[in-house]
Structure formats: structure tokens, C-alpha cells
């Protein structure tokens, strides 16, 4: 479990120009936001515009109240306070309105954030489902997928920040108007005192982005180690092999490194943030003294003092927030690259513009013509020079040592992979001319690394053809085909029993029982081709015999491919194909291969001696 040495420790830091360029991601972002909930998006903007006018309105009414109080106090005992109380009532209404708008905006932000997160999560899952299996097995792709997943939550905060930015910009326009009519130099003082804080935050956000991006592979490893150290699925091996200290040690090493890197950056950011804050406070109080002096000399009223001092204070706060938020928004826009780039990944397995319908029935079978396949980023061939035909109604067994390319071959047959060289024909037509979904619907496959869904038994079976989820009769028929019906009878809630221990009242099954459940999936649809990858590896001899008796009946008139290390299983096939290092070494019937006295005969004899 070594650290990925290919990942650079620190990524290139984005420049100011790159951050500005990243703002071009925002239109696409808002398009997604609008699609997630048009009504919530509209009302969020509407109420923020109303809210943006509140600060200057409150300050101005406050100025009028102060001036009116002073006027009434100096009016030689004549007191008509009607206008004053109207102003107080107006200020009260504005304050209540401000509070109400804040709560409405907060509610809309929360609801819109949830809508956006759910919408983009579904969008990510839908797009991931369209991509090639080979892409999902690539670590570089997985890093992009992981970063895209992270953005579904992080970008809801970006949404709130952008809307807050618009609201504050409108508020600033009102406040600047008031200050500018008094003295334009106050605006200049404001900018000079806040600019250092803006540049400082911009710098440290760049540092944080680079650090976070460079840690993606290691963070995935950290999540995996957390799973290894605290999971019911790994508990027995962690205990029996005494791996707890090893897993914890590796986790601690990675987490300590993250803490060290992050804490160094956080301390530097806090120190410089304090310095920049002091500069801002100095500028504010310099302007405040200037306004007080003007009031003392009679150039301003006390109401003007309260309005201008309040306006400058709020404008300083808004300007500082806008500049700092701009850095965060531009940084978030850079993170959007990770999110949007994921949707730019396109599958290499494309659907033909005019796909040929899957033949029913198959007439000539599947023909491999000089087929070779190489995994991306690999120099070695997983399969090469494959030339053979899977005939209609034929059962073909694939035999070979681990890593011989058996599973890769059946993934090519079901078009989960595209050949790197050569071609595969179905009834004389290249597989590329068929719709992959139509092709895969007509091929029933159970791989040896099948999923154990933490769902009910009926759902676990129905995933073989999820369109028949509510077809209880078909589910029970499929269970009978794999002998999982006997298992269902023993379970407390039978077919509605939750399997696995992840959720409450779940029941864990043995390896053999899980395999029967998985096998039943292949009986869920009327596939013309059946592929079983180590279908009985976890079954005892009696259960294996019963499964194959039923399977033999099921495959009558259908093509089937069996991958098995048990020669008792392989000899039941019509023909046996022997693979070695991805290449076809021998092909023929059991008797023909024994007579050939080649690799198959050698492996068969070795296994036979093991049973003596």
C-alpha cells in the first residue's frame, strides 16, 4: 500500500489571469442551478435584490431620526413629534422586513442547495453510467470522478456566495452614492486599506487549491483505509491476520501528513489575515476621525455623522467581503473545472447511428477475427491473436491460469471493452453496428466479483433484469433455477428479507448462499447468450452438481460461455478453449484436448491427482 509516486506533491498554482478565466465557468454553473429548480432560483434572486436596498434605507432613516430629535430638542419647548414617530415606525418596518428577508433568503439557499446537490448527483451518476467500463477502472478517471462528486456539495456554497455577491454589489452602489457626494477621497481610503487583505486571501486560496488537488489520490487511500479498519466485511481478515496496527499506522501517517500540511497553511493565513485586518481598521478610523472633525466644525449635522460613519463602516465591510468573496468565487470557479471536465469525458464505445437489431435467433454466432486488447496505460496485451467462433447453441468453456485473459475475453464478447485490434462479428456483422444496450440485454452475465447488494433478496435477484422488479413469479422462478428458492424458505421474511449487515434487521449469507443469489440473476431474462465466470466457486460438490443440472436444461438451444478452474465443470462444455498469456493455445472437445496431450491435458492431470 505504497503512496502514489506518480502524483506531484504540489500542483501548479493558478494565476490571477487563470482565476479570471475560470469565471467563464459560471454561466454553465448557473444553467445547472436553474435546471435544478427554476422557481427557487428566481425567488432567491428577487428577494436578494430587495434585501440589498435595506442597509442604505435603514441608515438614511436613522439619520433623519437623529436630525429630527436634535431639531425638536432645540425648538424652545415646541414639540410636534408626529414626523419623528412616523420615522421610528418606518425604521421598525424596515428592520422587520430585513429580518424576514434574511430568513427567506436563508431558507431558499438551503432548499436550492439541496435541489442542486441532488440534481448534480443524479447527473454525475447518469453520466458515469454512459462511460466505458475500462474508463471506470482507470485511476486517473477515478480521481476526476471523486473530485466531481466532491463538487456536488461544495458548489452549493459557491451558489450562495455568488448570489450574496450580487446582493452586496447592489447595496454598495447605494452606499457609494452617499459617500461620493460628501467626499470622494473616502472611497480611495477604503480601497487602499482593503486591497492588501484581498491580495492576501487570493494568495492563500491559491495555495489551498493546489494542496487540496494534489492530495486527491492519497485522500482516496485514506477513505479506503478508514473502510478497512472499521467494516463488517473486512473485520475477520483484519483480526485473523492481525492487520489493525498496519492499517492504523498507514492511516495515521497519511492523516498526520494532511494535518501538518493544512495546519502550516492555516497558521500562515491566520497571521497575515490579522495584519491585513489591522490595516483595514486603521483606514476606517482615519476616515471616522475626518468625519467627526467635519461635524465639530459645523460642516455636517449629527445625522450626517451617523449616516456617513455608518455608511463608511458598512461599505468597508461590504467591500472587504466582496473582494474576499471574489477570491473565493474565482477559486470555486476553478474547482468547477473539475466538475465540468467530468462531463466532457466521452465514452469510446459509441452507438451506431443506425444500429442493427440483435438477431433472434442467432444464426452464425460470434466470430473473433484476430482480436487483441490492451488496457490503457499498459504495455502488455491482455488478449491477442484470438481467432475462434462461438456457435449458436454451443457451450464453450474457457480454461487457463489466473491472468490468462479469460474474463477480459468475455468482456470483449459483451462489448464492455472495445478491441484494440481486430474485430468481433455477430452473424457476420461487426459488434460496433449493434446498440450496446440491446446487445447486453441479450447477454446474461454473472462475473465472479458479483455485487452483494445490501437490499432485499427479491431486489438482489431482480437486478438481473430490473425492468421486472415487480414480477414476483419471475423472481421466484429465477430463484428456483439457481436453487436460491430453498434459501428464501429459511429466511425470516423470505423474499423480502434484507441481506447484508449494513442496515437494520439484515441477514448475512455465506459465500455459497450469496453465489446462489447471484446465479439467479441470470435466470431473470430470456438471454440468448449466457456467460458464467466461476459460477460455482463457493459451492460444495452437491450444490455444484445440482446447479449444473439446472443450467444444462436452461442453456438448451442457447450459446453459453463458462469460465472455471474446475475441470469437472469445463468437461461439460461442447468445446474447451485454453488461454495462455491472453492467446488461444488450444481449442477442442475434452476428449480431443486430452488426446492432444498439450496444456489442457497437463492441467487436467494435475487437478485429477489432487482428488486422488
Positive or negative: CA dihedral 117, 123, 124, 129: positive
Radius of gyration for the alpha carbons in the chain, expressed in angstroms and rounded: 35
Distance, CA of 388 to CA of 561 (rounded, Å)? 13
pLDDT at 3 exceeding the cut of 50: no
Torsion of CA 433, 438, 444, 449, to 10 degrees: 80
Beta-bridge partners for 529: 443, 559
Per-residue pLDDT, 9: 39
Per-residue pLDDT, 155: 65
Q: Residue 18 burial by CB count (10 A; 0-12/13-18/19+): exposed, middle or buried? A: middle
Ramachandran area for residue 510 (φ above 0: left; ψ -120 to 50: alpha; else beta): beta
Longest dimension (CA), the chain: 127
**Is the model more confident about 417 or about 178?**
417
pTM of the model: 0.65
Q: Phi, psi (5° rounding) for residue 587? A: -150, 135
- Per-residue pLDDT of 6-38, as tens digits, reads 433 334 555 656 666 777 778 888 888 888 889
The full 3-state SS of 23-46, as one line of letters, equals: HHHHHHHHHHHHHHCHHHHHHHHH
Per-residue pLDDT, 587: 92
Task: Give the Cα-Cα-Cα angle 72, 78, 82 (nearest 5 degrees).
Answer: 60
Q: Residues 404-426: what's their mean pLDDT?
A: 90
Does the bond joining 361 to the residue before it have cis omega, within 30 degrees of 0?
Answer: yes
Distance, CA of 122 to CA of 126 (rounded, Å)? 6
**Buried/exposed 540-555: b ≥16 CB within 10 Å, e otherwise:** eeebbeebbeebeebb
What number of other Cβ atoms are within 10 A of residue 140's Cβ?
A: 12
Spatial neighbors of 483 by CB under 8 A, at least 6 apart, are 516, 543, 546, 547, 550
Distance, CA of 147 to CA of 330 (rounded, Å)? 17
Type and span of the H or E element at 388 = strand 383-390
Distance, CA of 508 to CA of 547 (rounded, Å)? 22
Question: Quick check: 308 and 63 in contact, CB under 8 A?
Answer: no
Question: Quick check: 319 and 171 in contact, CB under 8 A?
Answer: no
Reported confidence tier of residue 210, pLDDT bands at 50, 70, 90: low
What is the percent of the chain where pLDDT is above 90? 13
Amino acid at each position: 500500500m505504497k503512496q502514489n509516486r506518480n502524483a506531484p506533491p504540489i500542483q501548479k498554482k493558478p494565476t490571477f489571469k487563470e482565476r479570471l478565466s475560470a469565471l467563464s465557468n459560471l454561466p454553465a454553473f448557473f444553467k445547472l442551478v436553474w435546471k435544478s429548480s427554476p422557481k427557487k432560483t428566481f425567488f432567491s434572486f428577487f428577494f436578494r435584490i430587495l434585501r440589498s436596498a435595506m442597509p442604505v434605507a435603514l441608515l438614511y432613516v436613522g439619520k433623519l431620526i437623529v436630525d429630527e430629535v436634535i431639531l425638536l430638542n432645540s425648538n424652545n419647548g415646541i414639540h410636534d413629534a408626529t414626523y419623528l414617530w412616523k420615522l421610528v415606525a418606518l425604521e421598525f418596518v424596515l428592520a422587520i422586513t430585513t429580518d424576514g428577508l434574511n430568513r427567506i433568503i436563508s431558507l431558499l439557499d438551503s432548499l436550492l442547495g439541496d435541489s442542486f446537490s441532488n440534481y448534480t448527483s443524479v447527473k454525475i451518476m447518469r453520466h458515469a453510467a454512459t462511460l466505458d467500463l475500462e474508463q471506470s477502472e482507470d485511476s486517473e478517471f477515478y480521481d476526476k470522478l471523486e473530485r466531481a462528486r466532491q463538487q456536488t456539495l461544495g458548489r452549493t456554497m459557491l451558489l450562495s456566495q455568488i448570489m450574496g455577491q450580487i446582493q452586496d454589489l447592489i447595496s454598495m452602489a447605494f452606499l457609494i452614492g452617499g459617500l461620493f457626494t460628501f467626499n470622494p477621497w473616502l472611497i480611495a481610503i477604503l480601497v487602499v486599506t482593503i486591497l492588501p487583505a484581498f491580495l492576501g486571501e487570493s494568495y492563500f486560496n491559491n495555495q489551498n487549491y493546489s494542496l487540496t488537488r494534489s492530495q486527491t489520490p492519497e485522500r482516496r487511500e485514506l477513505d479506503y483505509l478508514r473502510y478497512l479498519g472499521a467494516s463488517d466485511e473486512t473485520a475477520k481478515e483484519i483480526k485473523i491476520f492481525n492487520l489493525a496496527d498496519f492499517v492504523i499506522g498507514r492511516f495515521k501517517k497519511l492523516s498526520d501528513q494532511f494535518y501538518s500540511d493544512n495546519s502550516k497553511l492555516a497558521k500562515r493565513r491566520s497571521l497575515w489575515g490579522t495584519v491585513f485586518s489591522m490595516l483595514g481598521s486603521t483606514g476606517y478610523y482615519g476616515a471616522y476621525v475626518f468625519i467627526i472633525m467635519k461635524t465639530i466644525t459645523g460642516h455636517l449635522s449629527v445625522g450626517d455623522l451617523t449616516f456617513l460613519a455608518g455608511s463608511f463602516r458598512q461599505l468597508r465591510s461590504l467591500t472587504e467581503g466582496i473582494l474576499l468573496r471574489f477570491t473565493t468565487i474565482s477559486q470555486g470557479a476553478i474547482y468547477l473545472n473539475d466538475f465540468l471536465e467530468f462531463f466532457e469525458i466521452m465514452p469510446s464505445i459509441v452507438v451506431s447511428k443506425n444500429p442493427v437489431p440483435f438477431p433472434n435467433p442467432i444464426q452464425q454466432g460470434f466470430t473473433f477475427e484476430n482480436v487483441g486488447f490492451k488496457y490503457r496505460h499498459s504495455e502488455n496485451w491482455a488478449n491477442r491473436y484470438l481467432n475462434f467462433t462461438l456457435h449458436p447453441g454451443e457451450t464453450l468453456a474457457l480454461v487457463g491460469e489466473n491472468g490468462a485473459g479469460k474474463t477480459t475475453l468475455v468482456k470483449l464478447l459483451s462489448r464492455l471493452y472495445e478491441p484494440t485490434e481486430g474485430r468481433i462479428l455477430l452473424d457476420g456483422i461487426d459488434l460496433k453496428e449493434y446498440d450496446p444496450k440491446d446487445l447486453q440485454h441479450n447477454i446474461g452475465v454473472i462475473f465472479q466479483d458479483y455485487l452483494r447488494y445490501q437490499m432485499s433478496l427479491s431486489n438482489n435477484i431482480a437486478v438481473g433484469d430490473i425492468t421486472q422488479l415487480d414480477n414476483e413469479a419471475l423472481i421466484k422462478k429465477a430463484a428456483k433455477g439457481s436453487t436460491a428458492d430453498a434459501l428464501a424458505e429459511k429466511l425470516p421474511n423470505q423474499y423480502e428479507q434484507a441481506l447484508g449487515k449494513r442496515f437494520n434487521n439484515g441477514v448475512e449469507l455465506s459465500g455459497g448462499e450469496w453465489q446462489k443469489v447471484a446465479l439467479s440473476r441470470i435466470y431473470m431474462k430470456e438471454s440468448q447468450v449466457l456467460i458464467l465466470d466461476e459460477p460455482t466457486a463457493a459451492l460444495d460438490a452437491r450444490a455444484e452438481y445440482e446447479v449444473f443440472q439446472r443450467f444444462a436444461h436452461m442453456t438448451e438451444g442457447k450459446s453459453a460461455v463458462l469460465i472455471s478452474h474446475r475441470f469437472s465443470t469445463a468437461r461439460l462444455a461442447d468445446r474447451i478453449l485454453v488461454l495462455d498469456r491472453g492467446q488461444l493455445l488450444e481449442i477442442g472437445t475434452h476428449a480431443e484436448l486430452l488426446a492432444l496431450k498439450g496444456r489442457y491435458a497437463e492441467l487436467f492431470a494435475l487437478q485429477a491427482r489432487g482428488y486422488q
